[in-house]
Amino acid sequence: MTEPPRQRRRPAVSCSLCRSRKIRCDRQLPCSNCVRTRNESCVYASQASPVQRIRPGQATDVLNQQPQAHTIHLDRVPNAHQPPAYHNHQSDFLVNSPSIISTVSNHSAEVEALKSKIKQLEEQLSRATQPHTHSPLSSSKSDIETSTSRITNRLHVQYENNSGRPAAITRGIMNKTRLLGQSYWMSGLATLLRELFQTLEPYFLQDTSKIFQGFHRCKALARVIKAKRTPKWPTPPSLDLPPKDLADKLVDCYFQTTETIYPIMHLPSFQIEYDALWAPNREPRMAFVVQLKLIFAIGATTYDKQFSLRPLAFQWVYEAQTWLAEPDLKSRLTIQSLQTSLLLLIAREATGIGPTLTSIPAGELLRAAVTMGLHRDPKHLPHTTVLAAETRRRLWNTIIEVNLQSSLTSGTAPMLTLDDFDTEPPGNFTDEQLLMADPEPTPETNLTRISIPRALRKTFPLRLTIARFLNDLTSPGTYEETLRLDTQLRASYKVLCQTLQSYTPSPPKFALRATDTLTQRYFSSLHLPYFSLSLHEAPYAFSRKVSLETALKIWRSTYQSSPSSQFTRFLTSGGGLFRTTTIQALTIIATELRFQLQEENQSLDPVPLRPDLVRVLEEAKAWTLECMESGETNTKGYLLTHGLVAQVQGLMRGVTEEDMHGYLVRTIEESIETCLGILEERACEGQSGLVTPSNVTPELVEDGFDFDFLVSN
């Protein structure tokens, strides 16, 4: 009996050329051997026709051909212009082809491999043929408007292309050498203030006008006052301290204010060294003395309403700056040096010494902390005590918070992401518990010195996202994304309020108002870019409502609650985020009232104004006067505020458009006279004689009216 022909137990998986040459085939389409030998066709046993290699010149012709039932066309040319959609259709046709399925029905592994290979080639072709994707910054259309005046110097404002809209969205401002992002307090208000600047501009140019002479006399007096209170540089630190009773009050002022939201010091450890400082025959450490003087400087801002210790506060800040400026950086990589650097940043904002430029040293402080490993949680580091571990967590928490706030103030992108650290929030321990060997955390509802910073830390990821959304170069900046972030921020703010209300005992008022103002600033920063546009277009009405209500909440927290409160004194005497946030709120309220009154002139019925908004105008004038009386030398903020209020009050009194110009000028002249009286009195303290008009020279006004004019010089 004749045996039947022997059959292969498994199908051939190599191509015909490799099988005939008995060489290893990599089973590609076409295989590497066919590519190397330039074989025009690579044929497999399961195919009725060969797989053709496509040359670059043939790519377009192949794409235009109709797919055959038993042929797989593979494009291996990177620049072939083949639509991915067509490729997907072709793949579905081939994979589901009856011929192929019937051929390999018993070999499911080969079918899956074929599907996987086709999908891989489709992805490669899609990546090769899709057009180059530009970043949002390079693809977005924007216009840059440049204006030059005595008031603003050369100012470049970048607008989003408004496409014929009555108002545009401000994306950034270039003033002098600084590039300011959307979170900068003036970014969304530059267009709205242009009318006021244009009205006052001629009077800052006429040498014979009262505004010109009075304003530049104020500049001369301000320079005399600043020269008296500013120490020489460098200022080596000394062991001189104020009397013990005054020092105790300043320390109490510090621990009742900024330490409640920016924890830096361990109170028991501080108290031991502080008490030893006053002992007879003491030998104090200079590092601790520098820390203590910075605490004095911060406490001095709320010590009294007039900030009578401002010259001493300047002295203490300059001494600390000199101490940290030594070139030996290695000796400064200590926990105590980080504490001193943090205190210096807060003291500069509190006293108004360059408060809008603290983002630069804040970035340096962040890098120093990373170098020391504070960005890693202590559980990933060598074992240490509870006090040391929690001190590192508290310092890192304060460092990232200060960096985020300085980013929002200066309009720069935060130099930090959530992937850059894994340090956990500080535990809810009292300072006394940290001295124990193995303490148990205090229940969440029990208030400790670290409770409010822990509550703020829960909102940190979202606030960091908002700061990046506003200031990053690659941010999409769409209104839809703004509304999405607003929704998330409202949910986060609700949880934050519930947490603060659950504490027993109740948190200090300073901490509550500071926390609320910090959070409200993010609402304002999100919607302020659309505020000008919302005055003309209904789709952005929500931003108008949020901007106004947020501004009113901020004003209530900072002034209306109690003009003599510690928080009000803190922002009246200094600068930084709290000061600029308050000024931003005043500007929004005044602009809203002015627009409502202008709309009333175009309607038959009068528009009722909200009494709470109107009341803010008089309070704003009183607050800016308090700023001048507390030692402020920069009159520009006072003049601008009174100019904005004058526009609104003129419209309320029915002043015609023709008479508004003169009304505004008279208001500014009266404001300058008030400033002159305050500055002359302060300049004469401790000396005889006044600064005469002969002291006024053209050089005094070369610095112009920059966008830091509402914070201390």
Least reliable range by pLDDT among 82-86, 242-246, 588-592: 82-86
pLDDT in tens, 155-180: 677 767 554 555 667 777 877 788 88
Secondary structure of residue 252 in the 3-state scheme: helix
| Per-residue buried b or exposed e for 355-386, using 16+ beta carbons within 10 Å of the residue's own CB | bbebbebbbebbebbbebebbebbeeeeeeeb
| Per-residue pLDDT tens digits for 516-570 | 999 999 999 999 989 988 998 999 999 999 999 999 999 998 876 566 789 999 9
- Is the pLDDT at 416 greater than 90? The verdict is yes
Backbone φ and ψ for 7, nearest 5 degrees, come out as -105, 150
Grade residue 575 by pLDDT with cuts at 50, 70 and 90.
confident
Over range 348-376, report the average pLDDT.
92
Radius of gyration of the chain (CA): 35
Tell whether the model's pLDDT for residue 444 goes beyond 90: yes
**What mean pLDDT comes out for the span 394-423?**
95
CA distance 261 to 510: 9
Predicted TM-score (pTM) of this structure: 0.77
Q: What is the pLDDT of residue 45?
A: 65
Beta strands in 170-291 (DSSP E): 170-175, 178-180
In angstroms, the CA 219 to CA 679 distance is 10
Q: Which of 158-167, 227-236, 608-617 has the lowest mean pLDDT?
A: 158-167
Helix (H, G, I), strand (E, B) or coil at 170: strand
What pLDDT, on a 0 to 100 scale, did the predictor assign at position 134? 36
| Confidence (pLDDT) at 58 | 44
- How far are the Cα atoms of 248, 249, 300 from residue 243, in angstroms, in the given order? 9, 10, 14
Task: Convert 576-600 into a string of H (helix), E (strand) and C (coil).
Answer: CHHHHHHHHHHHHHHHHHHHHHHHH
Task: Give SS3 for 476.
Answer: coil
Per-residue pLDDT at 693 exceeds 60: no
75 pLDDT more than 60: no
Mean pLDDT of 12-33: 79
What's the mean pLDDT in 467-487?
90
DSSP code for 619: H
Q: Quick one: pLDDT at residue 257? A: 96
* Ranges 140-144, 324-328, 669-673, most confident: 669-673
Residue 136 corresponds to which tokens in the numbers above? 């949002």
Strands 51-52 and 142-149, how do they pair? unpaired
Phi and psi at residue 589, to the nearest 5°? -65, -45
For residue 169, give the nearest of 188, 195, 192 by alpha carbon. Answer: 188
**Ranges 93-107, 465-479, 498-512: which has the least confidence:** 93-107
pLDDT of residue 689: 46
Q: What is the pLDDT of residue 147?
A: 62
The mean per-residue pLDDT over the stretch 485-508 comes to 97
In eight-state DSSP terms, residue 22 is: T
Q: Can you tell me the distance from the alpha carbon of 568 to that of 35, in angstroms, rounded to the nearest whole number?
A: 79
CA distance 675 to 220: 12
- Quote the Cα angle for 278-252-565, to 5°: 155
36-67 confidence digits (pLDDT tens): 777 767 777 654 444 444 444 444 443 344 44
Give the mean model confidence (pLDDT) for residues 494-498: 97
Least confident of 4-13, 406-415, 695-704: 695-704
Q: What are phi and psi of 465, to 5 degrees?
A: -60, -40
pLDDT exceeds 90 at position 361: yes
- Which burial class, exposed, middle or buried, applies to 213 when counting CB atoms under 10 A from its CB (0-12, 13-18, 19+)? middle
Determine the pLDDT at residue 81. Answer: 40
Q: What is the predicted pLDDT for the residue at 710?
A: 47
Of all residues in the chain, what percent carry a pLDDT higher than 90? 53
* pLDDT at residue 326, as a whole number: 86
